[in-house]
């Protein structure tokens, strides 16, 4: 009977710990809101030529400024310099 009580207690403690850990992981969100500014006045030159970036549907893509840092679209930059970018949608 004493052994059964220890096993039951261990199972309850393990279950409670698992619930707390799962709640912590699922409760954390990696996404957050940021204030960003799209700036059409930033000019991008490559090999001395002015470049404009467009999306696959032809719409213009502008550099974005977040907290004083300028971000450029990765796919547009990689296409410009001849480096391919592919999407792998498989989940590990």
Say whether pLDDT at 28 is over 70.
no
Domain locations in the chain as residue ranges = 36-81
User: 48: which DSSP letter?
Assistant: T
Say whether pLDDT at 58 is over 80.
yes
37 to each of 10, 33, 42, 69, how far by Cα in Å?
54, 13, 12, 10
Instruction: Tokens 């096993």: give the residue.
Output: 7
- pLDDT tens by residue, 62-85: 899 999 999 988 888 888 888 888
Which is higher by pLDDT, 31 or 72?
A: 72
Q: In terms of pTM, does the model score above 0.85? A: no
Mean pLDDT of 1-17: 76
Mean pLDDT, the chain, integer: 82
């Amino acid at each position: 009977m004493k052994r059964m009580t220890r096993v039951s207690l261990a199972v309850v403690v393990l279950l409670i710990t698992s619930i707390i850990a799962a709640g912590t992981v699922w409760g954390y969100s990696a996404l957050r809101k940021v204030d960003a500014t799209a700036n059409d006045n930033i000019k991008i030159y490559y090999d001395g030529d002015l470049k404009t970036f467009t999306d696959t549907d032809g719409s213009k893509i502008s550099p974005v400024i977040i907290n004083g840092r300028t971000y450029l679209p990765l796919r547009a930059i990689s296409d410009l310099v001849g480096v391919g970018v592919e999407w792998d949608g498989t989940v590990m």
